[in-house]
Every structure is written in structure tokens, then in C-alpha cells.
């Protein structure tokens, strides 16, 4: 929790995101809005109409307001107009958009409303493959007071993709709260023997998360580690293909898909090791949660992961998309419990020092305070009264 400040008190912040499913960016929005609300700001989260409703559920009881937007076509002036009207009606003093689509619409609407705008990009570079999208995002950056990337590699990618100067993008790493589970029941749930070793991974079941390589690594380790199990918390389109692959490799009894879970801290507490086999990432929240849980970690060397793990001193880095390298790294830690425990301890110390959620929230609060002069607060309230 951050301490309420004069700069936040009375500030009205709009948070915009194009999805309200249980993803990393959505979780950042939920945590940021609720903590800013508790620190004295008023927050409104703008979500897509007819979405899943997951993010709205996370905000229940927090005091954070929810509004919905509708994008009726690929380029929707009506969406920009409705957002502008909502900003004015709510007396918004600063708008904060997450990821490509809302970066564009949020910048457009904030410009029309005459308020500062902040963009955060979390890792997806799907804008980069099409010139029209790159131009749209470049224009949004030009209209915005601040553009943020959650990792240094992503910041460099934005600079290259959009041909913008280095100083145009600020890095603010993600953060997570340190929460200890009340109950740890996963091993009983899976019916594991007392001597079983359990690897846990957390992430939606999409190709970019690289879970097929974790299945391949488990197959390579099956004979050497006959009590080894892998459990993945997440949902997605690859549930059936991953299950079929594990069955084809003869390891289906040791491969467990947990689905979407709310008890991630308890799942991590049950693990002997956390493995993140992603092919691309910014700074994944699951990695930070595993660090706080003191898990020994094996992770792909992508995005900001190497920085988070202090370039290998707080976890083992492996080449992405290489199940043989993944299996070798897992085997080395399973075979050396002392080293594994030391890595987990170092990861936890680093998480506390660098990735506690209070630091992320404080950094964003500083951005807002720099962009919003105090004299604008009164005019924003007046717009709300007269709208």
C-alpha cells in the first residue's frame, strides 16, 4: 500500500484496457486501481462491453467505478467520442491506457478531452507486423504525456518499431503483493505420494507460453526422476493438444492441467520448483509471485526475466523453445537441493527489494503527479458538475 499524498488526493484516474479476462495486464490494472483508490485517488476502469466480467469482479467492493466501451469497427470514432464524453462526465484528470488498442483510443479521447494520457505496453508486439498499426501507435505516443514499458527489452522494441527516441519510453517494472497462503492442498488434490517432486508453471495455455516444451522436458526426465510431476495453472486453447501430447509420450499420469485458479500462492507453496518456459514475455507476474514464494526457478531468457533473476544468480535461465536445455536445467536443480534452496532464497530477497507492488504503484503515482498540475483538479471537478 502506498501512503496517500497531496498529489493523489482528489485526482480522478481512468484506466482503460481492451480485455477483462484473467491475464497479466488485467491483473496489473486491478491492483493499480484498487491501491490508488485506497491511497486517496478516485479511479474508473473502462472495460469492453460484453466481456468476460473477470476484471470487474476483481474490483467489487474496492470503491473503483467501472464503465464499459464498445468498439463497433476496426476504426471507431464513436468509441473515441464515447470515451471523451465519459472522461468529461467523470471529471477525469488523467487517463491511463494499457496495450495497443486502448492506447490508440485512449490517446484519441484524452486529446479531445484536454487531459494528460499515459500508455503502458505489457509485452505483446502484435502491432508491429502491420504498418497501419505502427503508425497508429506512434501517433498515440505523440499525443501522450508518458509511454511506459514493463521491461527494458520491450522499451527498446518500441523505440525500434515506432522510430521514436529512447527518452520517449520509461520502464516501470510490474509488481505483485507478497501473500502467504492460508492452506496448501495441491499435493493432496493431485494424490501425490510423499516423495513426489512437483514442478509448477503458471500461465494461460497459449503457444507463446511454451508449455509444449515443458511437456517435452518432462518426458526427457521421466526415467531419471520417476516421481516427478508437472502441474500447470491456466486456461486456453491448448488444453486438449497438451493433454494429447503428454498421453502420446506416456506421461499423462504425471502431467496435470489445473485450469484457471485463484489460489496461485498456495499452488506455488506446494511446488518444489517453478518453471516458466515462455517464448516471449515482458515481465510476467507469475515469475514475480514465484520469487516471493521462494521457489527455485527455471525460466526462459526472454523479456525482462534475466534482469528479474539477476542474470542467473536468483534463478536458472535457459534458451527459449529448447526442451533439452529445459530438462537439463530442471535435472540440475532436482539433483542439487542445496543449490535450489539458495536460488529460492535469493529470488525472494530480490522480489522484496525490487518487485513489491507498492513500488510499481508509487512509480505510476509519480508519473500522474508530474503530468497533472494541481490547478487542473478544480477544473476537472467543475466539468463533472456542469456535464
Report the predicted TM-score, pTM, of the whole model to 2 decimal places: 0.86
pLDDT at 178: 86
Q: Please state the length of the chain.
A: 387
> Residues 277, 337: contact at Cβ < 8 Å?
no
Inform me whether the pLDDT recorded for 86 exceeds 50: yes
> What pLDDT band is residue 379 in, cutting at 50, 70 and 90?
very low
User: pLDDT exceeding 70 applies to what percent of the chain?
Assistant: 94
Inform me whether the pLDDT recorded for 259 exceeds 70: yes
Q: Kindly state the average pLDDT of the residues 12-18.
A: 97
Alpha-carbon torsion (288, 303, 339, 256), positive or negative? positive
pLDDT at 378: 46
Chain CA centroid to CA 265, Å: 16
pLDDT of 173-196, one tens digit each? Answer: 999 998 888 788 999 999 999 999
pLDDT at 285: 93
pLDDT at 7: 58
Please compute, for residue 374, the number of CA atoms within 13 A of its CA located in the half-sphere on the CB side.
5
For the chain, domains (ranges, CATH) are 12-175+357-386 (3.40.50.2000), 186-354 (3.40.50.2000)
Q: Kindly state the average pLDDT of the residues 84-101.
A: 96
DSSP 3: P
Amino acid at each position: 500500500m502506498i501512503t496517500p499524498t497531496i498529489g493523489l488526493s482528489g485526482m480522478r484516474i481512468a484506466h482503460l484496457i481492451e480485455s477483462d479476462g484473467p491475464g497479466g495486464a488485467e491483473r496489473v490494472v486491478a491492483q493499480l486501481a484498487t491501491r490508488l483508490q485506497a491511497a486517496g485517488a478516485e479511479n474508473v476502469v473502462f472495460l469492453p462491453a460484453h466481456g468476460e466480467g473477470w476484471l470487474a469482479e476483481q474490483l467489487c467492493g474496492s470503491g473503483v467505478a467501472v464503465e464499459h466501451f464498445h468498439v463497433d469497427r476496426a476504426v471507431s470514432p464513436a468509441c473515441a467520442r464515447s470515451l471523451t464524453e465519459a472522461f468529461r462526465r467523470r471529471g477525469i484528470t488523467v487517463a491511463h491506457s494499457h496495450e495497443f488498442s486502448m492506447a490508440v483510443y485512449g490517446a484519441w479521447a484524452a486529446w479531445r478531452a484536454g487531459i494528460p494520457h499515459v500508455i503502458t505496453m505489457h509485452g505483446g508486439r502484435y502491432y508491429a507486423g502491420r504498418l497501419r498499426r505502427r503508425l497508429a501507435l506512434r501517433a498515440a505516443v505523440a499525443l501522450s504525456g508518458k509511454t511506459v514499458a514493463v521491461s527494458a527489452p520491450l522499451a527498446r522494441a518500441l523505440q525500434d518499431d515506432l522510430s521514436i527516441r529512447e527518452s520517449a519510453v520509461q520502464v516501470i517494472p510490474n509488481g505483485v503483493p507478497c501473500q502467504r497462503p492460508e492452506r496448501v492442498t495441491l499435493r493432496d488434490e493431485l494424490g501425490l505420494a510423499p516423495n513426489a517432486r512437483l514442478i509448477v508453471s503458471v500461465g494461460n495455455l497459449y503457444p507463446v507460453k511454451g508449455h509444449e516444451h515443458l511437456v517435452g522436458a518432462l518426458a526427457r526426465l521421466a526415467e531419471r526422476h520417476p516421481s516427478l510431476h508437472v502441474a500447470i495453472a491456466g486456461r486456453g486453447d491448448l488444453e486438449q493438444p497438451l493433454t494429447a501430447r503428454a498421453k502420446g509420450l506416456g506421461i499423462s499420469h504425471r502431467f496435470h492441467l489445473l485450469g484457471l485458479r485463484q489460489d496461485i500462492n498456495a499452488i506455488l507453496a506446494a511446488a518444489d520448483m517453478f518453471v516458466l518456459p515462455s517464448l516471449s514475455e515482458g515481465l510476467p507476474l507469475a515469475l514475480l509471485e514465484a520469487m516471493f514464494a521462494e521457489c527455485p526457478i527455471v525460466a526462459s531468457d526472454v523479456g525482462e526475466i534475466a534482469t528479474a533473476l539477476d542474470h542467473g544468480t536468483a534463478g536458472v535461465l535457459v534458451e527459449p523453445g529448447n526442451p533439452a536445455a529445459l530438462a537439463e536445467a530442471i535435472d540440475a536443480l532436482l539433483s542439487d537441493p542445496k543449490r535450489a534452496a539458495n536460488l529460492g532464497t535469493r529470488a525472494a530477497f530480490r522480489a522484496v527489494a525490487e518487485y513489491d507492488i507498492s513500488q510499481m504503484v508509487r512509480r505510476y503515482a509519480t508519473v500522474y503527479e508530474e503530468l497533472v498540475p494541481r490547478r487542473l483538479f478544480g477544473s476537472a471537478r467543475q466539468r463533472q458538475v456542469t456535464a
